[in-house]
Amino acid sequence: MEMQNRITWDPQELIRLLENQLDRLKIYRFDSRYRSLLGENFMELLGRWEKDILSRRDDPFTLVVCGEFKRGKSSLINALLGGQVAPVNVTAETVTLNRITYGPHSNEAVLSGGKHLRLSDEEMERDRLEALMRQTGFSFRQIEIQRPIEFLKQAAIVDTPGLGDAMDDFSGLVEEALAQADAVVYVFSVNYPLSQTEQLFLKTMIVPQKYTDLLLVGNYLDMLGSAADYERMENLLVSRIQNLLPGQKPWLLSALDERCRQLGEERPNPAMEKELGEHFDRFREEISRLAEEKKELILPDRMQRLARGMIAEVSESLDALEEGLRMSSQDVKEAMNRVQEEKENQIRIQEETGRRIDSLIETMKGECREWMGELLDDMQQEVSTLSDISSADLTKYYTFYCIDTIQEGMNRCIEQHTLYLYDLLEEISAELSAKLSKNAVNSSYGFRFTLDNRTWTKGDNVSYVVSKIGNLALLSLVADGVAGAMRQKEMAGRTPDLLRSISRQYLSLRASVEQAVSSVYGKLGENAKKQLAEYYGEKIHAAQEQVEQSAMVARQDEERKEQIREAVAEIRRILGQIQKELEGEG
């Protein structure tokens, strides 16, 4: 056995060592002389890190569940806990970050200014929550949920908002949750297995963090037809992630099936009941095993992550102070000028890149229109081959088949073109492409296709308006079966009037597709340029802060500079001691 594997950590001793060093830093925070020497911003930085480190020492094993919108994250959590705990069927208006911990049954919305609002279980339902937000005038960003559920004794669960959904408001909360995770469960749908944008999010936002554990979970497994479909799906996913996460296999589950099993209700896929139950049981056992196995390791791992983050950020601020100690008044003036020049240069780069994004968006819109036009041509030509399908089956299935096929085509276009945007922004900064992956556009769009369904409505006209934001997983299931049924079944009867009606509607369908392309690609471009502006804004702000901090030091007299020099050296010694203790050398 290697020596490194024989070394163990005493969590309480590690906390004691860190607390001792943090206490040494407190001297600088609460001494007015040092606050004057080193500046308020530096003291706030020390205080924030101390609070973060000490506030997390008593936290249980924390499991963060994330993924794109409508992938069944909340349903998976409810199935894991065996009850209706996390809100489901949320909309962009009601989306919240939910922290679920062990304790007496309670729900509290976290408001601004340190205020909390108690919520009843009924008010946790989507419609009631929306009404309560309107009534109070508050937008609930975070909800603290406590339940006396045995599973929560070993793990706290954080249910994050769907990526791409209202992330302008929630990105900070989600990033904070991910940074504090002891393990991450990333949920995707087996109907859309780990798209390129999902893989990019994993690559840019999760894998670099080196979390204790990452579990990839494919939900809606009940929608696959058989065990053979399961094996094909697993092989596909393994091939997709082999470069990103070599050797890792995804967990394929059905949260819906598990809840039906718990409630004694009819299961969604009777042919796969045994396999679905076994898969979920193994997943629950794995989470429990992780929580138990990591119980003694969580604290050292968490404290090390936080302490190393503190060392890196505080050291950067000390660098600025030391730079000021070396600067003359002329150096300060030149540094200010350089910052102004850099600001103007970055504004020029931002404007130039914005024009490149606009040009790329126009090119991509043209390609999407061309690709979708070809798809619609093929679909319209196919109408003439459907004459052996009964009118009842056409009215029952064709709308779903038509809409889902168009949506799938749009999704493929958007996914491919989003990669082009990533490539453009990656040229500037990996951080910028990470921002885009975190704030991906939720490309909502809808299409209308109407058929006269005499079987269902006795002559009433039925309109289907299907949106990508809706229950796309169910829609995909229907469409998958429809395509085969419409081509393979030999049905009697011809329906020329209905087929003519279908053909006539392709003109308006093309118009709605054109409108969707313009809307979605417009949002895609706007989002990319917004991330670009924020990226350069943050860079300019950081550069200005750093030079101002250096200038503040440079303007001091020699006596105060010597005092600052001594304080900086002592703080570096403290950080060095923390580093040694983290590495087991102290």
pLDDT tens by residue, 365-398: 999 999 888 888 888 888 888 777 777 777 767 7
Does position 416 have pLDDT exceeding 50, yes or no? yes
Does position 493 have pLDDT exceeding 50, yes or no? no
SS3 of residue 101 by DSSP: strand
CA angle 448, 466, 445 (to 5 degrees): 85
Considering only 25-39, 111-125, 344-358, 428-442, which range has the smallest mean pLDDT? 428-442
8-state DSSP, 212: S
8-state DSSP, 204: I
Please state the rounded mean pLDDT for residues 440-469.
Answer: 37
**Residue 406 confidence class, pLDDT cut points 50, 70, 90:** confident
Please state the rounded mean pLDDT for residues 43-48.
Answer: 87
Does position 211 have pLDDT exceeding 70, yes or no? no
**Residue 49 confidence class, pLDDT cut points 50, 70, 90:** confident
For residues 289 and 180, the model is more confident at 289
For residues 476 and 244, the model is more confident at 244
Q: Count of alpha carbons within 13 Å of 174, Cβ hemisphere only? A: 26
At 561, which amino acid appears? K
Task: Give the pLDDT score at 363.
Answer: 93
What percent of the chain clears pLDDT 70, i.e. is strictly above it? 80
For residues 105 and 199, the model is more confident at 105
Does position 187 have pLDDT exceeding 90, yes or no? yes
Task: Give the pLDDT score at 169.
Answer: 55
Task: Give, in order, the Cα–Cα distances in Å from 324 to each of 331, 424, 504, 548, 562.
Answer: 9, 36, 74, 9, 12
- Summary mean pLDDT of the chain: 77
Considering only 254-258, 427-431, 435-439, 506-510, which range has the smallest mean pLDDT? 435-439
Q: Are 164 and 439 in contact (CB under 8 A)?
A: yes
Angstrom distance (rounded) from CA 382 to CA 272: 34
CB neighbours of 88 closer than 8 A, spacing ≥ 6? 74, 75, 78, 126
Does position 432 have pLDDT exceeding 50, yes or no? yes
Task: Give the pLDDT score at 358.
Answer: 92
**Residue 166 confidence class, pLDDT cut points 50, 70, 90:** very low
Task: Give the pLDDT score at 511.
Answer: 86
For residues 88 and 321, the model is more confident at 321
Task: Give the pLDDT score at 80.
Answer: 93
Task: Give the pLDDT score at 89.
Answer: 65
Does position 475 have pLDDT exceeding 60, yes or no? no
Q: Are 450 and 372 in contact (CB under 8 A)?
A: no
DSSP H helical segments within 462-495, as ranges?
472-488
pLDDT tens by residue, 517-551: 888 898 888 888 888 888 888 888 888 888 888 88
Considering only 281-295, 336-350, 368-382, 460-474, which range has the smallest mean pLDDT? 460-474
Radius of gyration of the chain (CA): 28
Q: How many residues does the chain have?
A: 586
The two tokens of residue 273 are 């009941």
**Residue 477 confidence class, pLDDT cut points 50, 70, 90:** very low
Does position 70 have pLDDT exceeding 60, yes or no? yes
Task: Give, in order, the Cα–Cα distances in Å from 175 to each of 55, 66, 186, 372, 526.
Answer: 17, 11, 14, 36, 22
Task: Give, in order, the Cα–Cα distances in Å from 409 to each of 196, 371, 405, 479.
Answer: 15, 8, 6, 13
At 573, which amino acid appears? R
Burial, 479: exposed, middle or buried (Cβ in 10 Å; 0-12, 13-18, 19+)?
buried
- Sign of the CA dihedral running 434, 309, 3, 292: negative
Does position 339 have pLDDT exceeding 80, yes or no? yes
